[in-house]
Amino acid sequence: MSQPEEMAPSDSPDFSKSADGLLPAIAQDVKTGEVLMMAYMNSESYAETLESGRAVYFSRSRSKLWRKGEESGNVQKIDSVYLDCDRDTILLKVQQVGDAACHRGYRSCFYRRLTPDGLEVTGELIFDPEEVYKK
């Protein structure tokens, strides 16, 4: 027989389930339910997210913490945090501050839909990433 929820061994994500200590984190708009993005969190980014009330992820490409909006100003304020049944996926219900969650300038990273003819852009471009990031 399984343990009741209130008797669960931990209320934290199980970062040991991933070889690199990173778990998927899905950001969802708290008001509309729109899925904005998927990124990764490690135990440090998760703890900072809970402490600060703002989304903090782990950037795999830069190998460091990524405080959402630190360059673009498009931050995510945390409304609530959910863990899946295995505690190896994190769902953040967020208030998106700024119109875009995607680093390519769209509201959602899921701005393309697969059709029989290929990918179709369904989202509206909100900002020019070259202007915002000036890389």
Count of H-run helices and E-run strands, the chain? 2, 8
| 22 in any annotated domain | yes
For residues 49 and 30, give the distance between their C-alpha atoms in angstroms, rounded to a whole number: 16
Write out the DSSP string of 69-126: TTTTS--EEEEEEEE-TTS--EEEEEEE-SS--STTSBSSS--EEEETTEEEE-SPB-
**What does R_g of the chain's alpha carbons equal in angstroms?**
16
> Which pTM value belongs to this model?
0.88
Give how many domains the chain has, as a whole number: 1
pLDDT tens column, 27-62: 999 999 999 999 999 999 999 999 999 999 999 999
In degrees and rounded to multiples of 5, residue 88 shows phi and psi of: -125, 15
Per-residue confidence (pLDDT) for residue 11, from 0 to 100? 87
Please give the residue range of the domain that contains residue 73: 13-133
pLDDT tens column, 74-104: 999 999 999 999 999 999 999 999 999 999 9
| 19 in any annotated domain | yes
CATH number for the domain spanning 69: value is 3.10.20.810
| 2 in any annotated domain | no
